[in-house]
Amino acid sequence: MSPSATSDLPISPSPFRPRILVPEKVSADGLALLTDLYEVDIRTGLAPDELISLIPSYQALIVRSETKVTAAVLQAGRKLKVVARAGVGVDNIDVSAATAQGIIVVNSPSGNIVAAAEHTVALLLATARNVGRADGTLKSGKWERARLVGVEVGRKTLGIIGLGKVGMKVARMAIGLGMKVISMDPYASPDLARQAGVALVEKLGDLLPVVDFLTIHTPLLASTLNLLGEAEFQTMKPTARVLNVARGGVYNEDALLKALDEGWIVGAGIDVFTAEPPAPDSSAARLAAHPKVVATPHLGASTVEAQENVSMDVCAQVLEILRGGLPTAAVNAPLILPEEYRKLQPFVRLVERMGSLYTQHFVGGKGGMIGGRRFELVYQGELAGVGNTRPLFAALVKGLVSSISDSGGRDVNIVNATLIAKEKGIIINETHIRESEGLVYASLVTLRSYGTAGEHGDGQKTQVIDGYVSGRNIYISKLDRFAANFTPEGTLVVLHNYDEPGKIGSVGMVLGKHGVNIRFMHVASLDPETKLELARTQSETASESGVSQDKENGNGNRDPANEALMILGVDGGVTKEVLDDLGKPEGILNVSLVRL
């Protein structure tokens, strides 16, 4: 299985090598993705207090199921950016505490799907044919063939609670064995279930009385803890068998023991327990030792292939996060599906550059501020149909603060972006416009900033930046009132000037004098809507005064309809002296330096 986190960001070793702590055995194939760039410390068998004392030096923590990542651990981990769980469940991680501190928690929701499904089917067959008891008695020298008559699974009914990826895989395998499958899952797609041959029911009461085998594939939440108790077991067939390769605690263990002892059900196949390993004399221990139970020590994901898969998956995500990219399975943020990731990645770069361009051009170049302003991200066209735009929100926050923060925005991620925006006094709203009539591009992103009139000394209440993606390339198509078409990368000099003969030559001479090379130049004129508005205003002014009027703008009497932006991509050091010299000629209204 290939890593599920990908990026266009270049890999370049840094003199400062972030440290990654691995306190459990994790497949070396995944760790190999990290060892060239980061210091990976494998320290197995750490006691809780040892983990707390060590964690302040690390930027990432990779665990499986044994290490308890408590609030105390997370609070001590002042440098932590990510906690990665090499597996599915995150019961051993205080996700709320991580979120409060802006730490991303990732897992591998798909790396062990096949392993978990196959183990479920293995337990199903083992309970049906009494494999556990038969093996034990034969090893003890007994021959109890007559007492161990089993049942066939073909033509029997399997009930599945939770028709997610593992549940669906189990369903398809069971159908292959000739079983009838019914499921209860309020979030399942009826169309997908129908295509797979699975019948959906709405309530447990419709499921439990009719199944011969029952398996549960849900996370352990408040709503699923002790989902099946005494009352539920009593509604099942006395010949029914239950399976659990999901999470201990979904079945109430005391109730399950009583159900087996009272004959409410005939058997169980259990791989997970509320405490692992089960404490002596606990309900979990009595359940594991029960003669009607086939018990395994949490082997659902214990295959060579699954361990490699989850290791590759989470290590790829750790790599991506430490490089400033996006995870694909953040537990404390919306899941980014691979197809969404591929679609969003270029737009994430675009929106981050738009935010950085805004801060450097409108704030740095004109003496304004971003705190207290209200921003709006407008998605038009195909992009408006993407449900999870959290990465775009985070990218905007990162771009807005990158040029004014000590970390360069590297501390912003999809988990803490909202908190950082709030701290900076930034308000961001998102608008989706699916209609694409009149839209030149498949998708268009617009960034609008609202503030008080005259805040930037130019009488403009609202600033606008438009951008689009073509292939893997990103472009800015509008900068404030000016129609443009340039790639937002590298060092840019943006001149707001009157479009008059000689301007380009004078700018070239200044840059040449200072040894600054021009890579590209783009002249952006006023957009048609602004030109019409200016023409209407001038017409009204002339009509009121009876004479033709030109608007005074501090550079002589010039027609504001002739304003333009000159956008230069340059190589070389652009100092304050260079910017001052560029702003000296008559007709130059403003000069800003943007580094992207």
Q: Is the pLDDT of residue 89 over 90?
A: no
If pLDDT is split at 50, 70 and 90, which confidence band does 233 have? Answer: very high
Q: Where are the alpha helices (DSSP H) in 425-556?
A: 503-513, 528-545
Question: Which stretch of 64-73, 76-85, 166-175, 499-508 has the lowest confidence by average pLDDT?
Answer: 499-508
Q: Which pLDDT score is estimated for 369?
A: 60
Tokens of 497: 């000037």
If pLDDT is split at 50, 70 and 90, which confidence band does 180 have? Answer: very high
If pLDDT is split at 50, 70 and 90, which confidence band does 532 have? Answer: confident
Q: Is the pLDDT of residue 344 over 60?
A: yes
pLDDT digit string (tens) for 283-296? 999 999 999 999 99
Tokens of 311: 């290791």
State how far the Cα of 454 lies from the Cα of 366, in Å rounded to an integer: 11
Tokens of 298: 């949490």
Q: Is the pLDDT of residue 262 over 60?
A: yes
Do 317 and 107 touch, CB atoms closer than 8 A? no
Q: Residues 6 or more apart from 392 whose CB is under 8 A from it?
A: 344, 347, 348, 351, 377, 379, 430, 445
Q: Which residues pair with 93 in a beta bridge?
A: 69
**Mean model confidence pLDDT for the chain:** 86
* SS3 label, residue 324: coil
Parts of the chain belonging to CATH 3.30.1330.90: 338-595
CATH topology for the 113-295 domain: Rossmann fold (3.40.50)
Amino acid at 167: G
pLDDT digit string (tens) for 122-150? 999 999 999 999 999 999 999 999 999 99
Options 3.30.1330.90, 3.40.50.300, 3.30.1020.10, 3.90.76.10; CATH of 338-595: 3.30.1330.90
pLDDT digit string (tens) for 356-377? 999 999 887 555 566 667 899 9
If pLDDT is split at 50, 70 and 90, which confidence band does 11 have? Answer: very low
Residue 420 falls in which region: left (phi positive, over 0), alpha (psi -120 to 50) or beta: alpha
Q: Is the pLDDT of residue 55 over 80?
A: yes
Cα dist from 80 to 57, 109, 177, 273, 322, whole Å: 8, 22, 47, 30, 10
pLDDT digit string (tens) for 540-592? 665 665 544 444 444 455 677 789 999 999 998 899 899 999 998 888 999 99
Catalytic option among 66, 276, 489, 586: 276
What is the dotted CATH code of the domain comprising 19-110+304-322?
3.40.50.720
State how far the Cα of 151 lies from the Cα of 313, in Å rounded to an integer: 39
* SS3 label, residue 341: helix
516: enclosing H helix or E strand: none
State how far the Cα of 82 lies from the Cα of 480, in Å rounded to an integer: 37
State how far the Cα of 596 lies from the Cα of 215, in Å rounded to an integer: 53
pLDDT digit string (tens) for 235-255? 999 999 999 999 899 999 999
- What number of other Cβ atoms are within 10 A of residue 423's Cβ? 11
Q: Which pLDDT score is estimated for 567?
A: 95
Average pLDDT of 54-63? 96
Tokens of 58: 């690390």
Tokens of 35: 């060892």
Q: Which pLDDT score is estimated for 7?
A: 42
Alpha carbon 297 to chain centroid, angstroms: 32
Q: Which pLDDT score is estimated for 408?
A: 65
Q: Which pLDDT score is estimated for 365?
A: 56
C-alpha torsion sign, points 7, 11, 14, 17:
positive
Q: Is the pLDDT of residue 3 over 60?
A: no
Q: Which pLDDT score is estimated for 190?
A: 84
State how far the Cα of 67 lies from the Cα of 350, in Å rounded to an integer: 39
Parts of the chain belonging to CATH 3.40.50.720: 19-110+304-322, 113-295
Average pLDDT of 436-461? 71
Catalytic option among 19, 298, 323, 448: 298
Residue 147, class by beta-carbon neighbours within 10 Å (0-12 exposed, 13-18 middle, 19+ buried)?
exposed
Do 498 and 564 touch, CB atoms closer than 8 A? yes
If pLDDT is split at 50, 70 and 90, which confidence band does 406 have? Answer: low
If pLDDT is split at 50, 70 and 90, which confidence band does 530 have? Answer: confident
Q: Which pLDDT score is estimated for 549?
A: 47
pLDDT digit string (tens) for 457-494? 444 468 999 999 998 899 999 999 999 999 999 999 99
Distance, first Cα to last Cα, the chain: 35
Q: Is 276 a catalytic residue?
A: yes
State how far the Cα of 360 lies from the Cα of 484, in Å rounded to an integer: 17
Q: Is the pLDDT of residue 75 over 60?
A: yes
The crossing angle, in degrees rounded to 10, of helices 131-139 and 113-128 is 70
Q: Residues 6 or more apart from 233 whose CB is under 8 A from it?
A: 255, 256, 258, 259, 264, 265
Tokens of 52: 């707390």
For residue 511, how many C-alpha atoms fall within 13 Å in the half-sphere facing its CB? 23
Question: Which stretch of 144-158, 365-379, 428-442 has the lowest confidence by average pLDDT?
Answer: 365-379
Rg for the chain (alpha carbons), in Å? 32
Percent of the residues in the chain that have a pLDDT greater than 70, as a whole number = 88
Tokens of 555: 């550079």
Of the two residues 461 and 381, the one the predictor is more confident about is 381
Do 560 and 534 touch, CB atoms closer than 8 A? yes
Do 200 and 184 touch, CB atoms closer than 8 A? yes
The crossing angle, in degrees rounded to 10, of helices 28-35 and 304-322 is 20
Q: Is 298 a catalytic residue?
A: yes
DSSP for residue 330: B
Catalytic option among 247, 349, 373, 456: 247
Which residue in the block uniquely carries the two structure tokens 């304004």? 368
Q: Which pLDDT score is estimated for 453?
A: 43
- What number of other Cβ atoms are within 10 A of residue 228's Cβ? 23
Tokens of 70: 């408590």
Tokens of 227: 């989902």
Q: Is 305 a catalytic residue?
A: no
Percent of the residues in the chain that have a pLDDT greater than 90, as a whole number = 60
Query: Beta-strand (E) ranges in 314-460?
Result: 374-381, 427-433, 443-450
Do 292 and 260 touch, CB atoms closer than 8 A? yes
